[in-house]
Structure 1
Amino acid sequence: MAIPLGFYDFMDPHSEDFVMTRFFALLVVLGFSAPSCLADDLPPSSWQLMVTGQRFVAGQAQDPSQSSQSVQIDDRVWLDAAGNYLWLTHSEWPGGIKFQYRQFGTANGGARMDVTKWRDGIWLQRSDAAKAKQDYVDQTYLLPALLQTQLRGATGQLVANSSSVERTNTGTDAAGRPVTWTYNDHGQLLSVAQPQTRYEYLDYPDANPGSQPARIWIYRGGQQIADLQVARQVAELPADFQQIPLGYVDKPTPSSAKATLLAPGVYRIDQTPSGYHTGVVIGRDGIAVFDAPIDAKEAAANKAIIRQLAPTLPIKYIVVSHSHRDHVGGLLALLDPATQVITGVGGQQALQRLFGSSMPHQVREISQQEQLSLGDRHIALWPLRSSHAHDMLVAADVTSGTVFQGDLFYLPEVGPIPPAFPLTAELVQLLNRHIPAWRQLVGVHGRTATPTDVRQSVRLRTQVDKSKP
């Protein structure tokens, strides 16, 4: 069946809508019986997406009484029909902690780098062709007009009601994952569901089959994880989208986890699969452990290392810097029969929500400064209602002047010292008040810091703040 030329007379022939509508009009004429069969008809083009909104991150709440944290995002995505993409991410967490990454992919592979260099430093994370393709396909879910041309499957069930007609198809996406998708009588995608993740497309501006929905909701495991506003425009990928700035180096392949001696009786477990660190202090009567990242498997391996350091001593205390899932996911694997878990105010509720019936029995919240005894040495604890997590605890081995903290200060494993985040001022104020002669600062992320490192990072933050208009 021919489409009258007049169908396009009202449109600019060079516009994005003209290109997309000409393609999707075929779907309408054919009764949109098999949208995937026309994938090769989509003219090569590329787009830029402006993605704003919020993601809902379970187990990462500022307030431990809440189950998730809303995180604001402001991303830019370029992608084309040939499988190339560039993704610039920007997100901000409570306490002024900002993530900014640059990630790209082609048919040959891709790479990801930390723009601010505070989390990954100068390490470059490369991906092979298969991973780059999957990452590209993930981005196409934000551009349903392109995604629909790449879905593969037979015509499915026709669903009609008083107001519209919808079709449901089952097949695979371009990464080979099983999906079920629905589209309306205009040929517009309404939803696409993978086994664990579901996308819903809302607020189409018109009935144009190639239109971009203004809003996308994402669900995982039945819980909403994102509410995104997405705007689209025709735009070429930047010519240098594959360029890697000077100074980045390939991230080394992790070797076996090990305990690094920081001071007599004080260790930090390094080179874990996740890159997270666990602090350990060994006293005459027992052991104190600081945080339990990231899951049971990694924590069990860390416990085996601790056993090598002190085969006969019990783990008396596990000090939880704050109850975010990535800091406590391995808690159960570290427990000994009499281990006490120490949290800040509200931490017990967060742990109960995470572990349910497996919740440790000996969990104690502290609301004021106190000390834990290991016999011949003591661990000082200070609760801190920080802007990042209200149940924050800062700890110190008094004997060595080693401070243990989580997420209040960051240095990358390798690379220059970055400007401190705003919440670092909260840590500095606490240290100046309670332990001004501290010698080293151990974090769950990154390398161990000296007082000089912290002062330099704070100065850089001051310079950044002064340079703002």
Structure 2
Amino acid sequence: MTITKTDANNPYIIFPVPDNVENGPRVPPPVKVDTEKLADGVWYLTGGTHHSVAVEFRNYVVLFECPQNEERAVAVLDTVKKTIPNKPIRYVVNTHHHFDHSGGLRSCVAEGATIITQSENKPYYEKVWALPHTLNPDRLARAPKKPIVEGVEEKRVLTDGQRTVELYHLQGSNHSATMLIGYLPKEKVLIEADVYTPGPANAPPVPASKEMINLNENIKRLRLDVQRITPLHGRLVTIDDLRKGL
């Protein structure tokens, strides 16, 4: 940074507030959650910048990602209940600890869900969720509940004999060393966050990044038969879309 001018007699400048800001709406628009059926009992929850995936089991639901904040989290939870009624959300899978992907987890704890995350994230969540939350009390602050957090070292399988979800530690990621990905073997669907964000449909392939290359290497290492990828940013794509850019 280079400072080219100072004015000790005018230490600050008052900028006028634009009319559209001064007189604009004070209430944020309602959170939008769209649903797209990927397969029987598998739903892609979009409508914003951060997505989720709901997977229906015989007696419960597994939700991948509850991002951003309480407003988004509550909208996602309500949408899951309407889409898959009469089944509790037993597990919420958190891909990684970054604030925009973990900001809604407190609402899931208040809902009674068990949080599944990579093992190294577990003590961090248990510590921060035990701290006071007083500036803007959320559901968990208003009705405190001890969180149940379960860690995944390298692999965990959730199954009820009919539906199976596999969780894997994404090795070698520079974005987050404690990243989880999900895989539905019957549906051949991969769920990932932040390591591959596809561009709009009909746009040129996204240029290869280290994270994309690493994701592809992990898919090969784990011998996953992936046909479709549900990014938690961007849009639904095929494995060929990922590999076109590599």
For the aligned pair, the TM-score class normalised by the smaller chain equals: 0.7 to 0.9
- Deviation digits for residues 228-267 of structure 1 (CA, Å, limit 9, x no counterpart): xxxxxxxxxxxxxxxxxxxxxxxxx998322111121111
- What are the equivalent positions in structure 2 for 1:125-136 lying under 5 Å apart? none
Structure 2 residue corresponding to 1:276, chosen from 50, 58, 71: 50
Residue 119 of structure 2: aligned partner: 345
Q: Is the 8 A contact 2:185 2:225 kept in 1?
A: no
Return closer, same or farther for 1:311/1:447 CA change in 2, 3 Å cut-off: same
Return closer, same or farther for 1:413/1:307 CA change in 2, 3 Å cut-off: farther
Q: Distance in 2 between matches of 1:424 and 1:353?
A: 32
Answer yes or no: is 1:422 the counterpart of 2:200: no
How far 1:374 sits from its partner (Å)? 4.2
Return closer, same or farther for 1:413/1:354 CA change in 2, 3 Å cut-off: farther
How far 1:282 sits from its partner (Å)? 0.9
- What are the equivalent positions in structure 2 for 1:307-346 lying under 5 Å apart? 307-335=81-109, 338-346=112-120
Amino acid across the alignment from 2:220:
N
**What runs of 5+ residues in structure 1 fail to find an aligned partner?**
1-15, 25-31, 37-147, 153-172, 177-252, 459-469
How far 1:454 sits from its partner (Å)? 0.7
How far 1:335 sits from its partner (Å)? 4.0
| Paired residues, number | 219
> Considering only CA atoms, is the larger Rg found in Structure 1 or Structure 2?
1
Structure 1 stretches (4+) deviating beyond 3 angstroms? 253-256, 335-338, 356-360, 413-416
Return closer, same or farther for 1:401/1:335 CA change in 2, 3 Å cut-off: farther
Residue 382 of structure 1: aligned partner: 168
Residue 20 of structure 2: aligned partner: none
- Write 1 or 2 for the structure with the bigger share of strand: 1
- Deviation digits for residues 324-351 of structure 1 (CA, Å, limit 9, x no counterpart): 1100101122347652211113111332
Cα RMSD, aligned residues only: 2.6
Q: Secondary structure at the match of 1:356?
A: coil
Structure 2 residue corresponding to 1:402, chosen from 182, 189, 200: 189
Answer yes or no: is 1:439 the counterpart of 2:227: yes
How far 1:427 sits from its partner (Å)? 1.4
Q: Is the 8 A contact 2:96 2:117 kept in 1?
A: yes
Q: Distance in 2 between matches of 1:336 and 1:372?
A: 22
Q: Is the 8 A contact 1:332 1:360 kept in 2?
A: no
Return closer, same or farther for 1:338/1:258 CA change in 2, 3 Å cut-off: same
**What runs of 5+ residues in structure 2 fail to find an aligned partner?**
18-28, 132-139
Structure 1 length normalisation: TM-score? 0.43
Return closer, same or farther for 1:377/1:423 CA change in 2, 3 Å cut-off: same
Structure 1 residue corresponding to 2:73, chosen from 292, 299, 311: 299
Residue 355 of structure 1: aligned partner: 129
Structure 2 length normalisation: TM-score? 0.79
How far 1:375 sits from its partner (Å)? 4.8
Q: Secondary structure at the match of 1:420?
A: coil
- Higher mean displacement: 284-293 or 417-426: 417-426
- Deviation digits for residues 345-370 of structure 1 (CA, Å, limit 9, x no counterpart): 31113323543346852101111322
Q: Is the 8 A contact 2:96 2:179 kept in 1?
A: yes
Identity %: 22
- Deviation digits for residues 51-82 of structure 1 (CA, Å, limit 9, x no counterpart): xxxxxxxxxxxxxxxxxxxxxxxxxxxxxxxx
Answer yes or no: is 1:258 the counterpart of 2:34: yes
Q: Is the 8 A contact 1:412 1:445 kept in 2?
A: no
Q: Is the 8 A contact 1:286 1:374 kept in 2?
A: no
Q: Is the 8 A contact 2:119 2:150 kept in 1?
A: no
Q: Secondary structure at the match of 2:119?
A: coil
Q: Secondary structure at the match of 2:129?
A: helix
